[in-house]
Homo-oligomer: A and B are copies of this chain.
Amino acid sequence: MTADPIQSDDILTAEDLVFHALAHRARRRMLDLLKMAPGMTVQGLASHFEFSRVATIKHIARLEEAGLLVSKKHGRSRLLYFNVMPIQSIYDRWTDEYSSFWSGRIADLQQRVEARAAARENKHA
């Protein structure tokens, strides 16, 4: 590896970036927080963790590279938003590849999601 003169194909694919970004518990938690409260600032997000603001910024960068987080400058603040699109792409790939293991499961899934949606409707009414 160190003595290999030929450049190996270690280019990072989109899937690599997404899985890598999701590999850290704090980053998954960040997505949860941003999903619940879109438009948080960097400091607002950092306040939920024990590590420093700078560490938070680095995690944000990882999430942004993977496309899981988008941000918008607003004055001196930066507003953060969760973006589900890359996760949906991963879902598509894996449900295709592993479809033979999913027989009869997607229906349950749909039921749960619909039940959730209904519960939300009731709450709002």
Task: Point out residues on A near B: beta carbons under 8 Å.
Answer: 1, 8, 13, 15-16, 19-20, 22-23, 25, 28, 32, 35, 50-51, 84, 87-88, 91-92, 94-103, 105-107, 109-110, 112-113, 116-117, 120
- Most chain-B Cβ atoms within 10 A of its Cβ — which of A19, A87, A97, A112? A19
Which residues of B are found within 8 Å of A99, using beta-carbon distances?
112-113, 116-117
Contact (Cβ within 8 A) B96 A112: yes
Contact (Cβ within 8 A) A109 B94: no
How many angstroms between the C-alpha atoms of A25 and B50 in the bound complex?
Answer: 30
Contact (Cβ within 8 A) B116 A96: yes
Question: Which residue of B has the minimal Cβ distance to A52?
Answer: B1
A87 touches which one: B1, B22, B98, B110 (CB < 8 A)?
B98
